[in-house]
Amino acid sequence: MFTAIFVLLVILACSWVAIKWMYPRPPKGYYVPKPGDSTELRTCNYCNNSLAEWRGIVDGEKFFCNAEHQADFLAGKQYKAPSQAL
Ligand SMILES: [Zn+2]
């Protein structure tokens, strides 16, 4: 009986280690704004998505949700939603 419980504990410990190894926690503070970051909603000048200011890129008067949209906007491209891309 003791053996069964021991084996079960070993399996649980191994699973726990495996899960921690496969899904590491992101660095602390990764998903939360730092003090001083603006949480105001801004609209991306390229795709018109709304995003909190601290999650995106502020470029003067303009705002972009990521560097890719900033580059495409500056390149003069027109935004296409993924569903319209085909
Ligand atoms: Zn965008």
pLDDT value of residue 86: 62
CA 20 to chain centre: 19
Tokens of 63: 């705002």
> What is the whole-number distance in angstroms between the Cα of residue 65 and the centre of ligand 1?
4
CB 10 within 8 A of CB 16: no
The percentage of residues in the chain with a pLDDT greater than 70, rounded to a whole number, is 95
pLDDT value of residue 38: 87
Q: What is the pLDDT of residues 8-40, one digit of tens each?
A: 999 999 999 999 999 888 777 677 888 888 889
> What is the whole-number distance in angstroms between the Cα of residue 71 and the centre of ligand 1?
10
Q: Quick check: 64 pLDDT over 90? A: yes
Query: What average pLDDT does this structure show over 47-68?
Result: 93
pTM score of the predicted model: 0.59
- Residues, Cβ < 5 Å to ion ligand 1: 44, 46-47, 65, 69
Q: What is the DSSP string of 16-83?
A: HHHHHHHSPPPPTTSSSPPTT----EEE-TTT--EEEGGGSEEETTEEESSHHHHHHHHTTPPP--GG
